[in-house]
Amino acid sequence: LGQKITASFNKLSQAPIIDDELLDEVLKDISSALLHADVNVRYVAKLRGDVKKRVLMEGEEGGTNKRKLIQKCVVDELIGLVSAEKEPYKLKKGKCNVIMFVGLQGSGKTTTCTKYAHYYNRKGWRTALVCADTFRAGAFDQLKQNASKVRIPFYGDYQETDPVKIAGDGVELFRKEKYDLIIVDTSGRHKQETALFEEMLQVEEVVQPDDIVFIMDAHIGQACFEQAKAFRDTVNVGSVIVTKFDGHAKGGGALSAVAATNCPIVFLGTGEHFDEFQPFDPSSFVSRLLGMGDLKGLFQTITEAMPLDKQPELLKKICKGKFSLRDLYEQFQNLQKMGPMGQVMQMIPGMSNMLPQGAEKEGAKRIKRFMVMMDSCTDAELDCEVVMSDSRQLRVAKGSGSHPAEVGQLLEEYKRMEKMVGKMGKSGLFGKGGDMTQ
Ligand code: GDP
Ligand code: MG
């Protein structure tokens, strides 16, 4: 999807004049890319209409750069599509937050419950899990295993066959023990059917959740819309988590889920591992979708790991689109201090290419080797004040005990990043430096 839209943007920037005909053509291209990515038809039509209206209106004002305007409108509309009017439920301190997870079987509920519990547990919330799935054989064992891996207390019952009773008992137990966050995993079915919805309603009644999170598999494509709507119409869904956003998910279905439920997406699941879970931010999502690299996400991650006042220089440079080998080195250092490498890497423009699919460990090792090579560079080389001639590359290779071809790879990766960062800095898509770093 990203590539196709970027191609349309390129068409736009190469055209000598921008008339209505070209606008229609570009919008047609973008619409077909969105449809292809499983975005629901009616939202594609709406987006197309809205962009056109806005471009015609604002373009009239004169002095505006039409190319930029069209691009901005498309990006804005896409962000609008993944933003819900409703605010997501915020966990409240000093009370017992009960969150219920619903979704079809196999959508990733049990896995996501654990990720969610793990995420908040690491942020200091006392968290517990309740397994109210008696439908699937081995459901309790699965939750038990997951919970033990991330060391979260759990409740379940092998003998009891009534999920409503288990849910009620589990929540009551943890409420008494004054947990901050109690997560209730429910059962799914293969299809949306009356029995499932009936059970969900009963569990909702007995546990009185503060929020109901609908879990949806990104792979289900156009069916996302109807499925999300069916759940939303039955129970009081407040948030959405889209899972399996790794691999080849097209992403368009996720966009449609927001539209169908009018509930915000709060997290994305990006792998089977419990760390493969990230908070959802509409503008980061869209820029990643469009292959622009997720600078905002990177800034957030960097500033979480290291307070801004310690590295205003780096941020300023990136905002200006300047990027030296030394900056790359500093980024690598920061990355190493941060959480799971794979996800952080994906957020950096160009970085995701460095990682073979699913091989985060390899990526981390590669970064270490790159850093050793950079340790053999002179100051002038790190600051990109001299050209990295063959003889310099050879010296660095020798000094770091690596193959000259590896040094070549490092420089190639650096160039790719520099180019991307340069583009980002110029595009101004992410506003001024100030609000990027909030
Ligand atoms: P449930 O039936 O809704 O409880 O779904 P499960 O949590 O049992 O997950 C079904 C399968 O999807 C399991 O094999 C999970 O490992 C896998 N899964 C869940 N979330 C993700 C994800 O974000 N990415 C990938 N690749 N697999 C996932
Ligand atoms: Mg399950």
DSSP 399-438: HHT--HHHHHHHHHHHHHHHHHHHHHHHH-TT--HHHHT-
Q: Which ligand is nearest to the CA of 189?
A: 1
How far are the Cα atoms of 182, 235, 247, 265, 308 from residue 126, in angstroms, in the given order? 9, 26, 32, 23, 29
**Does any ligand 1 atom lie closer than 6 A to the CB of residue 107?**
yes
Q: CB within 8 A of 128, min separation 6: which ones?
A: 117, 152, 153, 154, 155, 174, 177, 179, 181, 182, 183
Most ligand 1 atoms within 8 A of CB, residue of 245, 272, 273, 274 to mutate: 272
Distance 114 CA to ligand 1 centre (A): 11
Six token digits for residue 209: 């959740």
| Cβ(31) – ligand 1 distance below 6 Å | no
- Ligand located closest to 139 CA: 2
Number of alpha carbons in the 13 Å side-chain half-sphere of residue 313: 8
- Pick left, alpha or beta for residue 196 (phi over 0 → left; psi -120 to 50 → alpha; otherwise beta): alpha
Q: For residue 353, count CB atoms less than 10 angstroms from its CB and return exposed for 0-12, middle for 13-18, buried for 19 or more.
A: exposed
Phi, then psi, of 211 in degrees rounded to 5: -150, 145
Which atom from ligand 1 is nearest to the alpha carbon of 133? 4
**Global confidence as pTM:** 0.68
Query: How close is the Cα of 339 to the center of ligand 2, in Å?
Result: 26
The complex scores an ipTM of: 0.99
> Of ligand 1's atoms, which has the minimum distance to the CA of residue 271?
24
pLDDT in tens, the chain (438 residues): 666 777 777 777 677 777 788 888 888 888 887 887 777 788 889 889 998 898 888 776 655 567 777 777 887 888 888 888 888 999 999 999 999 999 999 999 999 999 999 999 999 999 999 999 988 888 999 999 999 999 999 999 999 999 999 999 999 999 999 999 999 999 987 777 888 899 999 999 999 999 999 999 988 877 888 888 899 999 999 999 999 887 655 667 777 788 788 899 999 898 899 988 988 888 777 766 665 444 445 455 555 555 545 566 666 776 776 778 888 888 777 667 655 555 555 555 455 544 444 445 565 677 788 899 999 999 999 988 899 999 999 999 999 998 888 898 889 878 877 776 666 555 543 333 333 332
Q: Is 269 in the pocket of ligand 1 (CB under 6 A)?
A: yes
Return d(Cα 183, Cα 206) in angstroms, integer: 14
For residue 243 and ligand 1, the question of a CB distance below 6 A is answered with yes
Tell me how far the alpha carbon of residue 189 lies from the centroid of ligand 2, in angstroms: 10
